[in-house]
Amino acid sequence: MDLVVYFGKVNLYWVLFYILYCLMLRNHTFFRWNRAYLTGTLVLAFLLPFITFPQQVPIVQQLRRKYPFCRLTTLLPKSSKVWINGCSSYLQSR
């Protein structure tokens, strides 16, 4: 990883963690917890840029490749069903 990109990511994590600190912990008198949070996020900000997440093709793109003639309208993650306008009878017959 390029060193400039790495330090840029570290700085972005620091800013994010500091904003969270200002919003949630700054006015509290739990000084040990505040110090632990600040120290922990300092270390975490150096480690997070090394974590890479695999890129997966979202379900919408997979369905568009499989059924290019259909128009996707709503994604329902709870039931894991995708409702497609104009294609419901085609999908139910399969």
- pLDDT, tens digit, for every residue of 13-72? 999 999 999 998 888 888 888 899 989 999 999 999 888 876 655 666 777 777 776 655
| Pair (45, 67) in one structural domain | no
Listed as own residue / partner, the contacts of 30-35 with beta carbons closer than 8 Å and 24 or more positions apart are none
| Pair (46, 13) in one structural domain | yes
| Pair (46, 83) in one structural domain | no
Q: Which pLDDT belongs to residue 2?
A: 87
Q: Which pLDDT belongs to residue 44?
A: 93
**Residue 50 one-letter amino acid:** F
| Pair (46, 75) in one structural domain | no
Instruction: Give Cα 66 to chain centroid, integer Å.
Output: 26
Count up the domains in the chain and report the number: 2
CA-to-CA dists, residue 90 to 44, 70, 85, angstroms: 50, 10, 10
Would you say how long the chain is, in residues?
A: 94
| Pair (44, 63) in one structural domain | no
| Pair (39, 63) in one structural domain | no
Q: What is the mean pLDDT of residues 75-83?
A: 45
> Residue 69 sits in which domain range?
59-93
In three-state secondary structure terms, 20 is helix
Q: Which of 55, 63, 61 is nearest to 87 (CA)?
A: 63
Q: Which pLDDT belongs to residue 93?
A: 54
